[in-house]
Structure 1
Amino acid sequence: MIWHQGNIGEHSNRRPFGITCPRDGSLNRLSVSTSWNARRLDRGADVVDSILSLGIGGLELSYNLERAVAKEAAARARERGAPITSLHHPCPMPQGFSKEQASGEIYNPASLEEEERSLAEKSLLETLDFAEETGVRIVVLHAGNIPDARESESEMAELFKRGDEAWIGLRDELLRERERRIAKHIDGLLRVLDKVIPRYERAGISLAIENRYYITDIPSLEETDMLLHRYPPLLYWHDTGHGRARACWGLEGEYDALNEFRDRLAGYHLHDAEGARDHRAPGRGDIDFSKVFRLGGTEGKALVLEPGRWVEEDDLKRGMVLIEDILARCVVRDPRGGL
């Protein structure tokens, strides 16, 4: 059962519908995530300069920046007057990991193992410290997963992409496995969030939970609703490619989360997808970004391009122009009243 936003009550922080095209201010400037270029560059200054050379306004510091690199990148952004719209946890990357190992789930906050949850909690607080140090107001979170399913999930995705209907049987198997195991993992996640969300709230920094790609990822649409209901300070972060993938798997409609959680939406990871093949430059797939912005709005929300590291610079520039053109023309109407 989906709790609708009216159930969240006085904490829902509703915003009026209407025209929501970008205005001046760092949250309304298009940004690019360092997930695009950090793996191939060693210096934080080079990471920032490479992104700003695109003509972009700002950047998101992602989970693939070692501590020294992240600090240098933040200093370079400040020097050049470029806003850092968000951090993607864990940022900086925990010590002992390489850029090749970088992941939004280096530590699984929904793990059944107390030690791993403690490490996830520690990294969330380290990211909070870095947000305070750099003046960033939004931290994006991957909320974990049910372990040991990635191989089956990847196989399902490849079968789907090849048009092999065998993917359906594998999906149904994964759904049954998820149903059997999910409760204990949600309990583990809540134990972590119960500790870290009050710390974020006291610091005046928003933690935003991202929609994810795979079936055994957390949260589902229903779980997102539960989490937003349980934690009034928690926000939602919408990844356009992940929304498409979850629609491909038949889990929910591509735009359902935007309809449900618009009033708690902190921002977007913007990338295109063809079927379930995501992290393409806008214009290299068939996601309807006009509809995304009509449903989710743009005013006061972070707009972060998150192309795959394989995306060519020229493609990314064309994608930026496409998104900027859509934003310049966007007029939002209340989706509950129809488009």
Structure 2
Amino acid sequence: MIAISTIWNSLKHEDGAQLLAELNNLGFNAVQLDCKITEKLLTQMESQIRIGMKVVSVHNFCPVPPGVLQENADADLFLLSSPYKDKREEAVKHTLRTIEVAADLEVPVVVLHLGYVDVKDDQTFSPNFSFKKKSSIIRNTMERKSSIIKKRKGSFDESKRLFDLYEWGEREFEAFGKLVTELRGKRERKQQRYQDAVLFSLDKLNRRAMDLNILLGLENRPRYHQIPDFYELELFFAEFEGGNLRYWHDTGHAAIQEKVGILKQEKWLKTYSEQLIGIELHDVKELDEYLAPGMGELDFKEILRYVPGKAVKVLEIKEAENEEEIIEGRRVVEEILGKSDAAT
């Protein structure tokens, strides 16, 4: 089954039933609810969800939290990585609400953005703020490896330097490699307290997810300072072994990281294929994401060979893409998967 994210049309409709009807008219009978679905839209959707339209995943934070305008709603609006307890607990509170919504609708997966490392943070380590279990063992392993860095937000200007060099055609030049190394080092010096914050958040979320039989998909991100990076996934899975944490892969985010010299898409997929619970499929042209498959540069045949048949598959396409491109994007994916997999 190939689903589509409501990110494509959630801002177009004031009626949730009409929103789902538009997607159904495009040939989709399954959706991912995105972070711009309001409480009102959700309520309007429920009857249609219960009689036919399947929800395969819910993206945190859903519904839009109280006091937040729909157009301002964002999956990074509240930070599970915040080292400040009040801010972190606010993010946890809204995530718990998303988990409960998923349980009410009998949706198996909630997709999470985990936040980021603030590389401009003056503190490199807070001795009174540490989540110590298996994580300390994994950290030692991480430090012995050549580190791979990435992520978004907070330090957006640092990522912009990297993106600018790429767009100026500097990818193969020495300055580009030096900048990647510099940014990796900055992240490594600041990352521990943010990793600890995420572990505190996940501890609460994992327990509730286990109670409600919901899987939590930890999504890869496009920028060097965002969480999780490649090794942080190992850290989180080890800490909560036997729990409900899984990997959620975003093709566009991984492509951006590969383009700017951080990590190849294939490595994410090969390493974490056993934990892979779902994938968001969108194409990329240069650094422009959220295009329909087939409209950009990605080799979806190569990507999808690592994806288990049981994994959730979601087209995540921006609002600007037209209906014909969406239909063609689905056809591209279905052709690769084969009709039998696409229809299940």
Show the counterpart of 1:146: 117
Matches within 5 A, 1:1-339: 29-79=1-51, 81-147=52-118, 148-164=154-170, 168=177, 170-232=179-241, 233-297=244-308, 299-328=309-338
Deviations 1:190-227 (A, max 9, x none): 01111110110111110110011110100111111111
Amino acid aligned to 2:110? V
Instruction: Give a deviation string over 1:103-158, Cα, whole Å, max 9, x none.
Output: 11110100111111001110111011101111111000011112430233234324
Counterpart secondary structure, 2:169: coil
Provide the C-alpha distance between the structure 1 equivalents of 2:225 and 2:81, rounded to a whole number of angstroms: 11
Q: Is the alpha carbon distance of 1:77 and 1:155 closer, same or farther for their aligned partners in structure 2, counting shifts above 3 Å?
A: farther
Distance of aligned partners of 1:211 and 1:113 in 2 relative to their CA distance in 1, 3 Å threshold: same
Shift of 1:94: 0.8
Higher relative contact order (CA 8 A, sep 6+): 1
Query: CA separation in 2, counterparts of 1:278 and 1:142?
Result: 17
Moved more, 160-169 or 321-330: 160-169
Q: Secondary structure at the match of 1:268?
A: strand
User: What one-letter code is carried by the residue in structure 1 that aligns with 2:63?
Assistant: P
Could you tell me which runs of 5 or more consecutive residues in structure 1 were left unpaired when the two chains were aligned: 1-28, 332-339
Please state whether the residue corresponding to 1:295 is helix, strand or coil. Answer: coil
Aligned residues: 301
Identity %: 28
| SS of 1:100 mapped into structure 2 | helix
Which amino acid counterpart does residue 327 of structure 2 have in structure 1? K
Asked whether the equivalents of residues 152 and 170 of structure 1 are also in contact (C-alpha less than 8 Å), the reply is: no
Instruction: Report the residue type matching 2:21 in the other structure.
Output: D
Quote the offset at 1:253 in angstroms. 1.4
Given the superposition, is the C-alpha separation of residues 157 and 70 from structure 1 closer, same or farther in structure 2, using an over 3 Å criterion? Answer: farther
Which amino acid counterpart does residue 91 of structure 2 have in structure 1? A
Further displaced range: 249-258 or 259-268: 249-258
CA distance in 2, matches of 1:73, 1:157: 39
In structure 1, the residue corresponding to 2:305 is in which secondary structure? helix
Deviation at 1:170, TM superposition (A): 4.5
* Partner Cα separation in structure 1 for residue 186 and residue 282 of structure 2: 30
Moved more, 234-243 or 222-231: 222-231
Cα distance in 2, alignment partners of residues 158 and 44 from structure 1: 39
Moved more, 307-316 or 168-177: 168-177
Contact kept in structure 2, 1:246 and 1:253, CA below 8 Å: yes
* Alignment CA distance shift 1:37-1:170 (3 Å): farther
What is the alpha-carbon distance in structure 2 between the residues aligned to residue 244 and residue 269 of structure 1? Answer: 12
Deviates more, 1:211-220 or 1:49-58: 49-58
Instruction: Tell me the TM-score normalized by structure 2.
Output: 0.83
Shift of 1:39: 1.8
Cα offset, 1:228, TM superposition: 1.4
State the one-letter code of the partner of 1:290: K
Query: Superposition RMSD on alpha carbons, in Å?
Result: 1.8
CA distance in 1, matches of 2:220, 2:36: 19
Superposition deviation, residue 164 in structure 1: 4.3
- Contact kept in structure 1, 2:217 and 2:277, CA below 8 Å: yes
